[in-house]
């Protein structure tokens, strides 16, 4: 079982990337679980055709008890099992603790044992802002981290912070950063800027996703572009990225 975590600045396209990777892996015949770790709970929308799964924290809030296996997630496009941690009411509570509680429940319900996935993909909010948001890369969860960034200054700054946080965790046995996914925003000399950033951290750019109207078009229809039209150039790039993730041994982290 491969376990990947996708990090990056808020709004940079992590969920779009994660959902398209999941859809691509499903097309390769892989059994995938995607876990959205964001109070917005929008990671898996485009795998579920506009019928989202009830986030775990919403379930607790509504029913004052934990969901069982039948209610913790929902099967979406290509058999991808979708889970959303969700979070507390905005402005209240502790979203990070909600992620930890959801992971405890995933363990307790033996979700991985029951589904036997080939890949688990964690899509994590913005930055490693507290202990809860490092939970996906703690020992036993994701093994490999990928950072989504554009050539924009703030996106690279956030990416640098994530790398720094992970380096701080090196004696804790946490997952390691394996590469950069460039999600273009049409910044001038964007590839060169991101390449320089990646080089300075000794990381590869493993995908270069162009800005694409087709992504938005299919998302408006509640699906990933990979599902909507797998033969489009951008869809082929996601599928190539998915293949690359699977083909690269986990030990080639750096």
Partner 1 sequence: MKQAQRVLSTYAVDMFGIASALFELGGLVVMHDASGCNSTYDTHDEPRWYDTPSMVYISGLNEIDTIQGNDQRLIHDIAEVTDAVHPAFIAIGGSPMPNAIGTDFRAIEKMVQERTGIFTMGFRTDGIHSYLPGAGNAYVRLAQHFLKRPFRQPQRPARRINILGLTPLDFSVVGNATAIKTILTEAGFIIQSSWSMGDTLDNLFEAANADVNAVVSSTGLYLAQYMQEQYGIPYVAGIPMGKQGTADWLQALREGDTSYLTGLTGREPREKPQYALADLNAWKTETVYDDQPCDALVIGEPVYLLSMGNLLRHELGLSTVRLLCPLADAPQLLLRHIETVSVEPVIREECRKAQHVLADPIYARLLPEKQDAFISLPHEAYSGRHYHDEMPVIAGPDIADWLRDRLK
Examine the residue annotation and report whether 170 is marked as an active-site residue of this protein.
no
Choose, from 42, 58, 118, 127, the residue flagged as catalytic: 127
Examine the residue annotation and report whether 74 is marked as an active-site residue of this protein.
no
Strand 205-209 and strand 32-37: pairing? Answer: unpaired
Mask of contacts with partner 1, 86-105, x by CB under 8 A?
--------x-xx--xx--xx
Site membership for partner 1, residue 131 (CB under 8 A): yes
Burial letters 213-244, b for 16+ CB under 10 A, else e: eebeebbeebbbbbbbeeebebbebbbebbee
Nearer to partner 1 among residue 170 and residue 213 (C-beta): 170
* ∠ Cα 50 51 54 (to 5°): 130
Interacting positions 34-73 with partner 1 (CB under 8 A): 60, 64-66
Q: At how many degrees (to 10) do helices 95-108 and 56-63 cross?
A: 90
Strand partners, 81: 33, 75
Nearer to partner 1 among residue 165 and residue 241 (C-beta): 165
Site membership for partner 1, residue 132 (CB under 8 A): yes
Choose, from 40, 42, 58, 118, the residue flagged as catalytic: 40
The window from 11-19, 20-28, 47-55, 138-146 that contacts partner 1 (CB under 8 A) reads 138-146
* ∠ Cα 82 113 134 (to 5°): 60
Number of residues that bind partner 1 (CB under 8 A): 26
Instruction: Quote the tokens at residue 87.
Output: 């979070």
Site membership for partner 1, residue 108 (CB under 8 A): yes
Strand 81-84 and strand 74-75: pairing? Answer: antiparallel
- As a whole number of angstroms, the distance between CA 139 and CA 129 comes to 18
From 97, 109, 1, 102, select the one nearest 53 (Cα to Cα). Answer: 102
The window from 3-11, 18-26, 168-176, 204-212 that contacts partner 1 (CB under 8 A) reads 168-176
Site membership for partner 1, residue 124 (CB under 8 A): no
- As a whole number of angstroms, the distance between CA 58 and CA 66 comes to 10
Site membership for partner 1, residue 134 (CB under 8 A): yes
Nearer to partner 1 among residue 59 and residue 197 (C-beta): 59
Binder of partner 1 out of 90, 173, 233, 249 (CB under 8 A): 173
CB of 163 closer than 8 Å to CB of 177: yes
- Give me the active site residues, please: 9, 14, 40, 127
Residues interacting with partner 1, by CB under 8 A?
Answer: 60, 64-66, 94, 96-97, 100-101, 104-105, 107-108, 130-132, 134-135, 138-140, 169, 171-174
């Amino acid at each position: 079982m491969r376990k990947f975590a996708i990090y990056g600045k808020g709004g940079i396209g992590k969920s779009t990337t994660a959902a398209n990777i999941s859809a691509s892996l499903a097309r390769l015949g892989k059994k995938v679980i995607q876990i959205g770790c964001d109070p917005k709970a929008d990671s898996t929308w485009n795998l579920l055709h506009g019928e989202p799964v009830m986030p775990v924290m919403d379930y607790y809030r509504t029913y004052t008890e934990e969901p069982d296996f039948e209610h913790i997630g929902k099967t979406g496009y290509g058999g991808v099992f979708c889970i959303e941690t969700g979070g507390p009411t905005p402005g209240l509570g502790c979203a990070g603790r909600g992620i930890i509680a959801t992971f405890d429940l995933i363990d307790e319900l033996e979700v991985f044992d029951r589904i036997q996935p080939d890949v688990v993909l964690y899509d994590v909010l913005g930055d490693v802002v507290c202990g809860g948001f490092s939970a996906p890369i703690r020992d036993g969860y994701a093994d490999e981290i990928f950072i989504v960034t554009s050539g924009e200054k703030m996106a690279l700054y956030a990416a640098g912070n994530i790398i720094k946080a992970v380096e701080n965790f090196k004696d804790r046995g946490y997952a390691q950063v394996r590469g950069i996914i460039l999600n273009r925003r049409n910044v001038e000399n964007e590839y060169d800027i991101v390449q320089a950033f990646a080089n300075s951290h000794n990381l590869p750019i493993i995908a270069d996703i162009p800005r694409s109207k087709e992504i938005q078009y299919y998302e408006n229809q509640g699906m990933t572009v990979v599902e909507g039209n797998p033969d489009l150039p951008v869809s082929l790039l996601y599928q190539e990225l998915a293949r690359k993730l699977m083909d690269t041994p986990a030990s080639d982290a750096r």
